[in-house]
Amino acid sequence: MKKMILMALSAALVLGISACANKTAESAVQMDEQELNSKNAPIVTEEELGLRRENLYTEQTTAPVRAEYTSAAPGSAKRFERSYENAPPLIPHSVDGLLPIKKGNNACLGCHMPDVAKSVGATPIPKTHFMDFRTQKMLDHLAEQRFNCSQCHVPQANVPTLVKNTFEPDFRRADEKSKSNLIDVLNEGVK
Q: Which amino acid is at 179?
A: K
CB of 54 to ligand HEC, least distance (A): 35
Which C-beta is closer to ligand HEC: that of 56 or that of 155?
155
Alpha carbon 139 to its chain's center: 27
Which C-beta is closer to ligand HEC: that of 69 or that of 147?
147
Which C-beta is closer to ligand HEC: that of 57 or that of 133?
133
CB of 50 to ligand HEC, least distance (A): 32
CB of 66 to ligand HEC, least distance (A): 22
Site residues for ligand HEC per CB under 6 A: 74-77, 79, 86, 88-89, 91-93, 95, 98-99, 107-112, 120-123, 125-126, 128-129, 145-153, 179-180, 182
- The alpha-carbon radius of gyration of the chain (Å, integer) is 28
CB of 23 to ligand HEC, least distance (A): 48
Which C-beta is closer to ligand HEC: that of 110 or that of 169?
110
Measured distance CA(147)–CA(80) in Å, rounded: 22
By CB neighbour count within 10 A (0-12 exposed, 13-18 middle, 19+ buried), where does 92 fall? middle
CB of 91 to ligand HEC, least distance (A): 4
Give the list of residues 6+ apart from residue 89 with CB closer than 8 angstroms, or none: 79, 80, 82, 123, 153, 180
Q: Which amino acid is at 24?
A: T
Which C-beta is closer to ligand HEC: that of 55 or that of 128?
128
Measured distance CA(112)–CA(21) in Å, rounded: 58
